[in-house]
Structure 1
């Protein structure tokens, strides 16, 4: 069977619509279970969702009746099993297709794609699954927001990322058409507005781009009491000046990033180089964010090490040159660094994870084997990696920093942001912070 929730509710079997006789609340109930497939949804929560606090006295019996009807309706088509579990129900994972699951999988693939054309095509496929608002005609606005807030956010993010990829390929006309229904509706999504303004400007529609900015600013000031951010205001000024560089397609800049040389690096938020290495990935705490992977090239790893004073600039330049001559070896080191980062994150967030600690310790020991203790101009002794480290020098530099942190009592003050799709690490000597105060994960985390 196939279920479509991204628009009007549809259940199909061999291309033919089924369950057409199901009541609206029965369709809602099935949709709730499908959206949480594999997880138990308690009867109390189902009642709260279906009746929004105004449930009748016999609501539990009604839910039980709905489940029975749905089971009977699904059985002839080999539909998913609706299992009873304690005080609730769950959809047993099976071979059925679900458009919401396909959408999130395609967005995840697009975020990992390096080629702008591939990325744009995957986003096209993902966004093409939307036929209207979630459960249009079945769920009201309140229920839709409660059920689909995360999906709606992911859809807007996909629109922004697709626009970035298309602008990088010079497809500004396509961006202007795609974003026209959305930019005015979401003034708070300044990246989306910026992409539309850029597309309009490149298409010779400067007046429309400026009008969109004025409307966005008015909505932000009147609705939220804030001015547009620095990036959007700067874009407005450049359009006013007719900046010719805006006509040149450029690689999309990541969110919450700092430009170092030719590389984009995430903001420093952890308070220690070992934590910053872990924070080069967004999404540790949940579903991976589109564009959340920062260590995509060896050059980024080398520049990152220099940026955090783990490697001298002259060494970084030498490493970049060597990586250009030995791309396969550089790619292998990058893969090692990504694996090391995952192990380091695991042992920093779970002190009892002995296997991850052992894996990190092995790299730290290898780093120590190619280090020397020398006296610097400041008169102090310092551990320095020798040329024997080769292309692994930035990895070993990060490993040395990790070893120092794991031997430091501050290691017990590490906190992971609990924000959905976050998990970035930071030192918290006060013991009072819970969230990423800079919202570096891009998931809207803020200090309490």
Structure 2
């Protein structure tokens, strides 16, 4: 079951709205338990939250009645409200598919904050912010009670908007920053980080005068409402906008990269699709891995990469991208699977004695073989083609087939890894004379890609 607490309270099962019959106080009680899944919430605390510390004489008996109704309503969905000491708890086993948007929101924000790559950070913040449908329990509690339940959620959302904007600006996506933050500029005039991001985006979009106007409005608000001036960071940005400081210009394109259908992809340097797939990660030789080294940032990147390497036709790539947009969770799972396959393939290709890595690669190759059919091409030759049954795994399966072909080819014995500490890209070296994979500097260039 999916519980939505961000915005109006809602419960969903298999795409249908359920628990519609719960009364307002029962929804409030259930929400309190959902905000602390698995933890015992005392009856006294429940009473204080349900009646804003002004309970009726029969409050305890009423809470007991509410719990009984909740138990009856949740029982068909495999959920149970347990009595624990002087309170109640609701367990939500993740293995049973139960989800709470607030829990996912917090977890995704944590993953976004930990991500070193701007694209990965943006993607994580996108997922978190997509869960925000409004203030916590918009139809169940007032502002005072909302603060008591979790007053940090609204601040976390605003901080996420600002951090996402920073990551977007690092990738040159100032148009997205304009679209995201412009509607908030008048609503939140005192958020200096938000104003700074929007000023930078305006400047990069050639709207310098508007950036300066925004600063003046912010300065006036801070002086009139708070009695302070802009902080050092915003004041410095204002000076740079005034002087057209080149440091405000859009970040340069990544080194050793090619732009394909809106995606940055690494140069093809390996000499074989299976090696190029491994080379979508630079920094293999460094631990911990360096930020910005992973080129496979979204499922769309994976699909476009497969098309760029002729592992999938243009029309197929377009269909995969559309399907991924309709099924983001499935696409995310396939991307994670592809990254894991890449790790196993790299280990298999760099260490022929790694039986575990070979077994993992072989297992995926067998799955790919089951999804392929032999067809006659216009050139009169037969070709193996992956069927639509492969679904979003098609780029992964196409790569696995290429990997299987390489593993059975004598050229497999000529594979070398770039020795750069920041690289480790793979390439074919039939002559045994190449030491570096590209320009002797590929590690540093690729590591900063896109």
TM-score, scaled relative to structure 1: 0.54
CA distance in 1, matches of 2:136, 2:102: 9
Quick check: 1:8–1:137 contact (8 Å CA) kept in 2? yes
CA distance in 2, matches of 1:36, 1:222: 41
Quick check: 2:6–2:102 contact (8 Å CA) kept in 1? yes
Classify the secondary structure of the residue corresponding to 1:31. Answer: helix
Residue equivalent to 1:168: 170
How far 1:151 sits from its partner (Å)? 2.0
Quick check: 1:6–1:134 contact (8 Å CA) kept in 2? yes
How far 1:178 sits from its partner (Å)? 0.6
CA distance in 2, matches of 1:332, 1:121: 21
Residue equivalent to 1:114: 116
Residue equivalent to 2:49: 49
Would the alpha carbon gap of residues 225 and 331 (structure 1) be closer, same or farther in structure 2, given more than 3 Å must change? same
How far 1:155 sits from its partner (Å)? 1.5
Alignment of 1:300-315 (within 5 A): none
Quick check: 2:7–2:136 contact (8 Å CA) kept in 1? yes
Residue equivalent to 2:241: 239
Quick check: 1:200–1:209 contact (8 Å CA) kept in 2? yes
Residue equivalent to 1:260: none
Residue equivalent to 1:225: 227
Would the alpha carbon gap of residues 224 and 63 (structure 1) be closer, same or farther in structure 2, given more than 3 Å must change? farther
CA distance in 1, matches of 2:109, 2:288: 26
- The structure whose Rg is larger is 2
Residue equivalent to 1:25: 25
Residue equivalent to 2:13: 13
Gaps of 5+ in 2: 254-282, 291-420, 422-450
CA distance in 2, matches of 1:102, 1:247: 35
Q: Deviations over 1:70-94 (max 9, x none)?
A: 111111122x321112222121232
How far 1:186 sits from its partner (Å)? 3.1
How far 1:115 sits from its partner (Å)? 2.1
Would the alpha carbon gap of residues 222 and 49 (structure 1) be closer, same or farther in structure 2, given more than 3 Å must change? farther
Alignment of 1:201-280 (within 5 A): 201-249=203-251
How far 1:250 sits from its partner (Å)? 8.2
Quick check: 1:190–1:232 contact (8 Å CA) kept in 2? yes
How far 1:329 sits from its partner (Å)? 6.8
Quick check: 1:110–1:118 contact (8 Å CA) kept in 2? yes
Quick check: 2:212–2:241 contact (8 Å CA) kept in 1? yes
Gaps of 5+ in 1: 252-326, 335-390, 392-448
Which of 164-173 and 146-155 deviates more?
146-155
CA distance in 2, matches of 1:217, 1:51: 42
How far 1:198 sits from its partner (Å)? 0.9
CA distance in 1, matches of 2:223, 2:61: 49
184, 187, 193: which one aligns with 1:185: 187
Quick check: 2:202–2:210 contact (8 Å CA) kept in 1? yes
Q: Deviations over 1:222-267 (max 9, x none)?
A: 333322210011112222333333123389xxxxxxxxxxxxxxxx
Q: Deviations over 1:240-296 (max 9, x none)?
A: 333333123389xxxxxxxxxxxxxxxxxxxxxxxxxxxxxxxxxxxxxxxxxxxxx
Residue equivalent to 2:287: 331
Greater relative contact order (CA < 8 Å, ≥ 6 in sequence): 2
Quick check: 1:6–1:133 contact (8 Å CA) kept in 2? yes
How far 1:188 sits from its partner (Å)? 4.1
Quick check: 1:8–1:132 contact (8 Å CA) kept in 2? yes
Quick check: 2:199–2:214 contact (8 Å CA) kept in 1? yes
Would the alpha carbon gap of residues 210 and 60 (structure 1) be closer, same or farther in structure 2, given more than 3 Å must change? farther
CA distance in 1, matches of 2:125, 2:76: 35
TM-score, scaled relative to structure 2: 0.54
Would the alpha carbon gap of residues 329 and 223 (structure 1) be closer, same or farther in structure 2, given more than 3 Å must change? same
- 4+ residue runs of structure 1 moved beyond 6 angstroms? none
Would the alpha carbon gap of residues 210 and 24 (structure 1) be closer, same or farther in structure 2, given more than 3 Å must change? farther
Compute the RMSD of aligned alpha carbons. 2.5
Quick check: 1:5–1:100 contact (8 Å CA) kept in 2? yes
Would the alpha carbon gap of residues 56 and 332 (structure 1) be closer, same or farther in structure 2, given more than 3 Å must change? closer
Residue equivalent to 2:63: 63
CA distance in 1, matches of 2:14, 2:284: 47
CA distance in 1, matches of 2:61, 2:137: 24
Would the alpha carbon gap of residues 59 and 115 (structure 1) be closer, same or farther in structure 2, given more than 3 Å must change? same
Which of 240-249 and 26-35 deviates more?
240-249
